Amino acid sequence: MYVLVCPCILDPSLRAQGITRESDLQAFRRASERCRTFGLEIVPLPCPETLYLGKDREPGTFLERLDTKDFSSLAERLEEEVRKIIGTMGPPLCIIGVNSSPTCGVDTTYYGADNKGPSKRKGRGVFLNLFSDIPALDVMTFSRYRVYLAAPLFSSAERRFNVWLSDLLHDHLFEVYLPQDAGDDGCHRGREAQRDIFAMHCDAMTRVDTVVAVIDGADADSGTSWEMGYAFAKNIPVIAIRTDFRRAGVHEHVNLMLEQSSCVVNTEEELLKALQSPLLLEQQKQ
């Protein structure tokens, strides 16, 4: 399994001058880390902007800098080269692009202002648009793969479900912190062990991109509820999965404070969709 990656993710010096922020570099690093963690081969795409305008270039839109026959011919030649790679290696899992790029944007692109629309528009950049048959993810989305799984863990049934859900997320290329793996889960642990486990879990939540919370039951587990509140206070996105059909009210699946601080889903499929699993893109393509 491999991914096609826009080359500036691997070499940020290919980007236009002055547009790269620390958050961009962090996302680029984590996208590469995800590939290494799950054994995804990285195949870089060519950079048509660099080949056409050079490395030391000012930022600009497609209409300002690239709307020429020469650039169009270059992009078509580069597409042929990439298609040969795909013919040899088979279809990639997806393309990892960089939003806003005039050439490699996934969801948005700086196309340029004209009488048909604003400078920044929805849709792919002009180069990625040549590969509309291949699913694509923005690097910011692809880089968010570390998950903290908050869930009740006091019965065999709960722990088994947590392991199953953790394995499902791992199969979809997510790295999961599972609190029940912390160690002593008995009721006889001392205060020092309690403090250590508490500190371990709090530290883990500072190093993830998303908290997935299991909120089944007549009322959500108290520890899980605390973890959701802590994540919300730390601006960590929370996706709560509730497969339980009971409702807390006419308009509420569960306690409104939990519901308003998270995205509530009802099935494992909805959870994977909310997390934007790259494997779902592959399934949708088929």
End-to-end CA gap in the chain: 15
Instruction: Give the per-residue pLDDT at 191.
Output: 81
- On average, the pLDDT of the chain sits at 92
CA-CA distance, 148 to 282, in Å (whole number)? 25
How many structural domains are present in the chain?
Answer: 2
Whether residue 21 is predicted with pLDDT greater than 60 in this model: the reply is yes
Predicted local distance difference test score (pLDDT) of residue 131: 97
pLDDT of residue 220: 87
Query: Would the pLDDT of 244 be above 60?
Result: yes
**For 193-231, what is each residue's pLDDT tens digit?**
888 889 999 999 999 999 999 998 878 889 999 999 999
DSSP-derived secondary structure letter, 179: G
206 and 161 belong to one structural domain: yes
Residues 114 and 183 in one domain: no
Q: Based on the domain organization, do 138 and 23 belong to the same domain?
A: yes
Domain-ending residue, one of 108, 142, 176: 142
Q: Report, as an integer, the average pLDDT of 16-37.
A: 96
Alpha helices for the chain (secondary structure H): 7-10, 22-37, 48-53, 62-65, 69-89, 139-142, 156-171, 191-205, 222-233, 256-260, 268-274, 278-285
pLDDT value at residue 286: 47
Are 163 and 272 members of one domain?
Answer: yes
203 and 136 co-located in one domain: no
Residue 25 scores a pLDDT above 60: yes
Amino acid at 258: L
Choose one of 114, 142, 170: the last residue of a domain. 142
What whole-number distance in Å separates Cα of residue 146 and Cα of residue 148?
7
Same domain for 113 and 10: yes
Boundary-marking domain end, from 124, 142, 160 = 142
pLDDT tens sequence across 136-154: 999 999 999 999 999 998 7
Q: Which of 111, 142, 108 is nearest to 124 (CA)?
A: 108
Q: What is the pLDDT of residue 171?
A: 97
Instruction: Of 5-19, 20-34, 91-105, 234-248, give the lowest mean pLDDT range.
Output: 234-248
Dihedral Cα 263, 206, 149, 141, nearest 10 deg: 60
For residue range 58-75, list pLDDT tens digits in order: 999 999 999 999 999 999
- In this prediction, residue 185 has a pLDDT band, given cuts at 50, 70 and 90, of low
The predicted pLDDT at position 90 comes to 96
Task: Provide the token pair at 109.
Answer: 């692109």
Range of the domain at 66: 2-142
Are 88 and 156 members of one domain? no
Take residue 156 and report the two structure tokens written for it: 């065999």
pLDDT higher than 60, residue 284: no
Domain match, 132 and 152 both: no
Between CA 202 and CA 227 the distance in angstroms is 8
- Residue 219 is predicted with a pLDDT of 82
Tell me: do 201 and 121 sit in the same domain. Answer: no
b (16+ CB within 10 A) / e for 238-250: bbbbbeeeeebee
CB 134 within 8 A of CB 197: no
- Residue 232 DSSP SS3: helix
Contact in structure between 239 and 262 (CB atoms under 8 Å) = yes
CB 240 within 8 A of CB 228: yes
**CA gap 129, 177 in Å, rounded:** 37
Residue 262 to residue 232: CA distance in whole angstroms:
8
Residues 59 and 172 in one domain: no
Q: Which of 62, 68, 76, 65 is nearest to 130 (CA)?
A: 76
Percent of the chain scoring above 70 in pLDDT: 94
Angle between helices 191-205 and 222-233 (to 10 degrees): 40
Q: What is the mean pLDDT of residues 160-178?
A: 96
Look at strands 238-241 and 210-214 and give their pairing: parallel
Residues 224 and 169 placed together within one structural domain of the fold: yes
- pTM summary value: 0.90
CATH code of the domain in which 246 resides: 3.40.50.450
Give percent above pLDDT 90 in the chain.
Answer: 77
Residue with token string 């599972």: 178
Cα(147)–Cα(24) distance, rounded to whole angstroms?
A: 20
Examine the domain organization and report whether 277 and 157 are in the same domain.
Answer: yes
